[in-house]
Amino acid sequence: MGPVPSCYSFLLRRIHPNAWLLALLSAVLQVLIFPLPGLYWLSWIAFTPLIVALLRARTPDTLQLDDAAVLVPATPWQGFLLAYVSGILWYAGTCYWIYDTMHHYGGLPAPVATIMLVAFCLYLGLYHGLFGFLLALVARRRSVNRVAFMALPFLWVAVELARSRVTSFPWELLGSAQVDHISLSRIASFTGVYGISFEIMLVNTAFAAAFLVWREKRNLLLVASLAATVMLQGGRWLQPPPEPADRSALLVQTNIPILMGDTWTKDYFDGTLRDLTWISLHSSAASNQNPALIVWPESPAPFFTGDPLFRDAVGNVARTSGAWVIAGAIGTPAMGEAAATPTDTFNSAALFNPAGELAARYDKIHLVPFGEYVPARSYFPFMDMLTKAVGEFQRGHSRAPLNAGGIPLGLFICYESIFPDEIRQFARNGAQVLLNVSNDGWYGDSGAYAQHLQMTRMRAIENHRWLLSATNTGVTAAIDPDGRVVARVERKLRTTLSAPYALLSANTFYTTHGDWFAYACAIISLGALLFARFKPTLQ
């Protein structure tokens, strides 16, 4: 092995060993706050070690490494490196399920799936690195820099906005960790989830300041930070009264295994449709509630909207029950359009009226890269194997609500629920109840199904809408406008849920104005960077 290149040697040799330990500790804490295990209360201190590491990372050139009393902030590239390592480990510990999805269900060999997971972590970790880079720029060589402390929460939210808009993978934004904290999470109806992220980072900043400011103020800041944490987290147990519900939908948890195409014999296909028809019409939930809406989720079954067998089965459920029925299926061509090519297909949810007729369809707009399509296919031809178990889909184009007999439904499919700005458009366009149909079977028994539910619940809070989550393997649930799961069934069972809900039409500030708060944080962050650039000595 050759010598370390001089540029990398310069980056590494002046970073104090404690800074690396703090960055690693922060990564572990960040993993712990999300499901599983979901130790949400650690969110108030999870970033404190990283902040301290970035602001006390190195010694000046004229001092020795063991003179810790005069440690100063990292240089911008050192800050990037420290935070980047922390981000890589966070993604590896939180999104580890990507390996199973690619290997067991996508058909990639284990070494290739491992490489893809590593590449994913290296790519998304860049956003943590960007945060460290920007904070180091603002800090400008002074460990006690009031501008850096004031700018820090704004910088974090700006980076989260970039992750949502540029890479388009806002998986587990920091504020999602506090979805069960109703008195705090209601801020999201005004600011979106970004407002909660801001509050969490504000408390982390206060804890970091307690360790970094002058000694005579340290105890005071530490006590104040602890008091704020206790008060904020204690509000989690202040539960508002239940939200009234005057309607009920029947959500069918189909529990269809993920199988290759040749496993779906005609007998197996017909048997699956018979089972789903029976529980839709004769389960205890169906018999007792007489629902006006029945939902079959997205599933790995070869259900096609143009297949007479599938349409007859779903149409029979609609006619017999007198209900509107939604069923996840593969749509071809787009509703009301001619197919551009014979292979045009869409990940769709079809709406059948009580007469058994196909009345409308939603075609998924935000597809999963490397799962439902291959971006830049000419550069990744070997990735075609990933889409074999799902399909190579085209994008839909409309977020208009579906009208199910006077029920304006904001219908979206699977991981579309992680995009706050996209889901709010359904409510802004008139949807009075939100519906997510998903096949969470791709996640296996990892923590991803719980992470997905957590983010989906935040969409209910942001838009103050009831949200029905109909899934293939679970969690199938009814979620109230405060994000509470008010009804659910056990995972990995073929069963039904009588899901209460109500129609709500008043739009929240977030529904109307979108990510205004996150953009404001980005503008303030830019101002802090310019201030640090042109007034480096003003504290």
Return the pLDDT at 121: 97
Q: Lay out the sheet containing 467-471: strands in order across.
A: 402-403, 408-413, 433-438, 467-471, 477-479, 485-488
Find the length of the chain: 539
Q: Which CATH number fits the domain that encloses residue 305?
A: 3.60.110.10
Task: Classify the phi-psi angles of 496: left when phi > 0, otherwise alpha if psi is within -120 to 50, otherwise beta.
Answer: beta
Check if the beta carbon of residue 208 is closer than 8 Å to that of residue 51: yes
CB 518 within 8 A of CB 157: yes
Q: Is there a single domain that holds both residue 206 and residue 253?
A: no
pLDDT score, position 342: 47
Low-confidence residues of the chain, pLDDT below 50? Answer: 1-4, 63-68, 337-342, 536-539
The number of distinct structural domains making up the chain is 2
Q: Which amino acid is at 257?
A: P
Where are the strands (E) in 341-440, listed by range?
346-352, 358-363, 402-403, 408-413, 433-438
pLDDT of residue 339: 43
DSSP letter for 448, please: H
Same-domain status, 211 and 299: no
Same domain, 187 and 168: yes
Answer yes or no: are the C-beta atoms of 253 and 473 closer than 8 Å.
Answer: yes
The three-state secondary structure class of 352 is strand
Can you give the pLDDT at residue 65? Answer: 44
Residue 534 has a pLDDT of 79
Q: Which two tokens stand for residue 449?
A: 């199904």
- Is position 181 within any domain? yes
Considering the domain boundaries, does residue 180 fall inside one?
A: yes
Instruction: Please write the tens of the pLDDT for every residue from 154-169.
Output: 999 999 999 999 999 9
Buried b (16+ CB within 10 A) or exposed e, 432-442: bbbbbbbbbbb
Structural domain includes residue 508: no
Following CA atoms 373, 376, 378, 382 in sequence, which dihedral angle do they give, to the nearest 10 degrees? Answer: -50
Contacts of 339 (CB under 8 A, 6+ apart): 332, 333
**Cβ distance 205 to 198 under 8 Å?**
no
Q: Are strands 293-296 and 485-488 parallel, antiparallel or unpaired?
A: unpaired
- Tokens encoding 178: 């506090």
Cα 423–chain centre separation: 12
Same domain, 333 and 263: yes
d(CA 392, CA 372): 5
Q: Are residues 346 and 484 in the same domain?
A: yes
Identify whether 177 is part of a domain.
yes
Residues 486 and 390 in one domain: yes
Pairing of strands 485-488, 495-501: unpaired
Sign of the torsion formed by the C-alpha atoms of 415, 421, 423 and 425: negative
Which pLDDT does position 525 carry in this prediction?
A: 97
- 510 domain residue, yes or no: no
Beta bridge partners of 188: none
Are 317 and 434 members of one domain? yes
**What pLDDT, on the 0 to 100 scale, is given for residue 102?**
87
**Is residue 67 classed as helix, strand or coil in its secondary structure?**
coil
Q: pLDDT, tens digit, for every residue of 37-47?
A: 999 999 999 99
Q: Are residues 206 and 327 in the same domain?
A: no
**Which contacts qualify for 22-26: CB closer than 8 Å, 24 or more apart?**
22/49, 22/50, 22/52, 22/53, 23/49, 23/50, 23/53, 23/82, 23/83, 23/85, 23/86, 24/85, 24/86, 24/89, 25/49, 26/50, 26/53, 26/86
What value, to the nearest 5°, has the Cα angle with vertex 420 and ends 528 and 519?
A: 20
The answer to whether 191 touches 510, Cβ cutoff 8 Å, is yes
Report d(CA 431, CA 472) in Å as an integer.
23
Co-location of 528 and 481 in the same domain? no
19 close to 57: Cβ distance less than 8 angstroms: yes
Residue-wise over 208-231: b if at least 16 C-beta within 10 A, else e? Answer: bbbbbbeeeeeeebbeebbebbee
pLDDT of res. 38:
95
In this structure, the answer to whether residues 35 and 69 fall within a common structural domain is yes
Shared-domain flag, residues 182 and 273: no
CA-CA-CA-CA dihedral for 120, 191, 202, 186, to nearest 10: -100
CB 82 within 8 A of CB 54: yes
509 within some domain: no
Q: What is the pLDDT of residue 509?
A: 98
Strands across the sheet containing 324-331:
358-363, 346-352, 324-331, 293-296, 247-253, 495-501
In a domain, 511, yes or no: no
Please enumerate in sequence order all residues whose Cβ is within 8 A of that of 95, keeping only pairs 6 or more positions apart, or say none.
Answer: 117, 120, 121, 124, 171, 448
Q: What is the pLDDT of residue 418?
A: 97
Please give the residue range of the domain that contains residue 423. 247-501
Q: Which of 497, 525, 482 is nearest to 188 (CA)?
A: 482
**Dihedral sign of CA atoms 476, 478, 479, 485 in order:** negative
Query: Is 366 in the same domain as 256?
Result: yes
Measured between alpha carbons, how far is 349 from 351 in angstroms, rounded to an integer?
Answer: 7
CA–chain centroid gap for 206, Å, is 27
Residue 262 belongs to a domain? yes
H-type alpha helices, 348-447: 420-428
